[in-house]
Structure 1
Amino acid sequence: MHLRAPAIIVAIRPHGESGAIVRALTAEAGLLAGYVRGGRSRQHRPVLQPGNMILGDWRARTEDQLPALVAELVHSRAPLFREPLPAAAIDWATALTAAALPEGQPYPPLHSALEGLLDAIEAAPAARGWAVAMVRYELLLLALLGFGLDLDQCAATGATEDLAFVSPKSGMAVSAAAATGYEARLFRLPPFLRQGGAAEWDDIRDGLRLTGHFLDRDLLHGKAAEVLAARGRLVDRINRAVA
């Protein structure tokens, strides 16, 4: 096995005395793991950061062997980790990707979306500049893994207008009329998820509540607690930033 491709680092785990197992998302081969010799050294530390873009060279003698990985830095986002909010955003986006995706299965749209999200965080570290992209990234990941939400028609009536809520059970939209009396049991559907454009903070919070429910239920249930903890830190910091 030999592959040389651009990739986004999404997870790093110590291995042995000085090595590291690095997982990175490529456009054409999906999520790949590789062993970096000396990956915990001072030399490699600036390169092996979540969110960094690398040119990876994976080599293994057999398909069952963990490949050796040589990572060449293409673009560093390490400076963003000096600020709590963008650091939390990168931590969550990469941790979610690493936890949810199966290895070796390509998802080119997700690779492009993750790169776009990281670029948005870098261009405008304040959450206003990238929070909408974060919600859309979470929705895309749910959809590509078979848990997409149906936000185009009402679950109760089939109507396509005046959609204002989402059922926490079915993941389908519900019109304002059909939701009468049941609003407290439903998630509010933020307008930006159907109409595009910018969003108010209340809409962003509603979007994060919506995606968080389905990520927890359908993708991350039973996964390591620290993955969801990373999302909790992000939501908390967003709330403090706009309080």
Structure 2
Amino acid sequence: MHLRAEAIVLAVRSHGEHGAVVRCFTRDDGVQPGYVRGGHSRRLRPVLQPANTVLGEWRARTGEQLAALTVEPIHSRAVLHAEPLAAAALDWTCALTAAALPEAQPYPHLHDGLDGVLGAIEAAPAARDWAAALVRYELLLLAELGFGLDLDRCVDSGAADDLGYVSPRSGGAVSRSSALGYEAKLLPLPAFLRDGGAAGWPEIFDGLRLTGHFLARDILIDRRAPALAARERLVERLQRAVA
């Protein structure tokens, strides 16, 4: 096995005294793990930060063996880890991707989406400029893994307009007229996920609540559940930032 590709660093775990097992996300070959010798050295620690882009080279004698990985830096976002809100967003998006995706399966749309979100976090001066993009990425991940939400028509009436809610069971949109009397049992559907455009903070938090429900129910279960702690930290910091 020999692979050389640009990749986004998703997760780093200590292995032995000096090494690290690193999971990286490539566009054409999906998530690829590898053992980096000296991964916790002073030279490599800044390179192996989640959200950084690296040029990775994986080598293994067999497909079952954990590949040896060497990395060269391409683009660093390490400075953002000193900013609490941006750091929480980077941690969550990388932790979600690392926990949710199977290894060695290509998800080019997700790779491009993740790169876009990370770039938005890096470029935007205010969280509101990237928080909506993060919600859209969560929605894309659900869809790519087979748990997409049907936000085009009401699951009750079939109507394509006046959509204001989502069923927490089916993931289908519900019109406001069909939701009368049942609003408390449904999840709000923010307009920016339905129609595009900008989003205010109330809509962003509605979007986070919506995608968070289905991520917790369908994706981040069993051994993947601990990744949700990173999302809780992010939501708490966003709430404090806008309070």
Gaps in structure 2 of 5+ consecutive residues: none
Write the letter of the residue equivalent to 1:31.
V
- The answer as to 2:212 corresponding to 1:212 is yes
Partner of 1:221: 221
Partner of 2:134: 134
Partner of 1:60: 60
- Contact between 1:86 and 1:125, CA under 8 Å: does it hold in 2? no
SS in structure 2 at match of 1:7 = strand
SS in structure 1 at match of 2:222 = coil
- The answer as to 2:212 corresponding to 1:200 is no
Distance 2:104 2:224 in 1: 21
Write the letter of the residue equivalent to 1:192.
F
Bigger Cα displacement from structure 2, 118-127 vs 2-11: 118-127
- Contact between 1:14 and 1:40, CA under 8 Å: does it hold in 2? yes
Distance 2:64 2:225 in 1: 29
Once the two structures are TM-superposed, the CA of residue 236 in structure 1 deviates from its matched residue by 0.4
Residue by residue over 1:132-165, the C-alpha shift from the partner in whole angstroms, topping out at 9 and shown as x without a partner, is 1000000000000000000000010111000000
Partner of 1:87: 87
- Contact between 2:100 and 2:224, CA under 8 Å: does it hold in 1? no
- Contact between 1:21 and 1:35, CA under 8 Å: does it hold in 2? yes
Distance 1:150 1:125 in 2: 33
In the superposition, the TM-score normalised over structure 2's length comes to 0.99
Partner of 2:238: 238
Once the two structures are TM-superposed, the CA of residue 170 in structure 1 deviates from its matched residue by 0.3
- Contact between 2:8 and 2:51, CA under 8 Å: does it hold in 1? yes
Residue by residue over 1:207-230, the C-alpha shift from the partner in whole angstroms, topping out at 9 and shown as x without a partner, is 000000000000002134431110
- Contact between 2:18 and 2:40, CA under 8 Å: does it hold in 1? yes
Q: Pairwise mapping of residues 71-220 of structure 1 onto structure 2 (< 5 A)?
A: 71-220=71-220
Over 3 Å counting, the alpha-carbon distance change for 1:24 and 1:158 in structure 2 is same
Distance 2:99 2:30 in 1: 13
The percentage of aligned residue pairs carrying the same residue is 66
Once the two structures are TM-superposed, the CA of residue 126 in structure 1 deviates from its matched residue by 2.3
Bigger Cα displacement from structure 2, 221-230 vs 149-158: 221-230
Distance 1:125 1:213 in 2: 28
Write the letter of the residue equivalent to 1:191.
A
Write the letter of the residue equivalent to 1:169.
R
Once the two structures are TM-superposed, the CA of residue 127 in structure 1 deviates from its matched residue by 1.1
- Contact between 2:140 and 2:148, CA under 8 Å: does it hold in 1? yes
Write the letter of the residue equivalent to 1:219.
I
- The answer as to 2:36 corresponding to 1:36 is yes
- Contact between 1:32 and 1:104, CA under 8 Å: does it hold in 2? yes
- Contact between 2:89 and 2:234, CA under 8 Å: does it hold in 1? yes
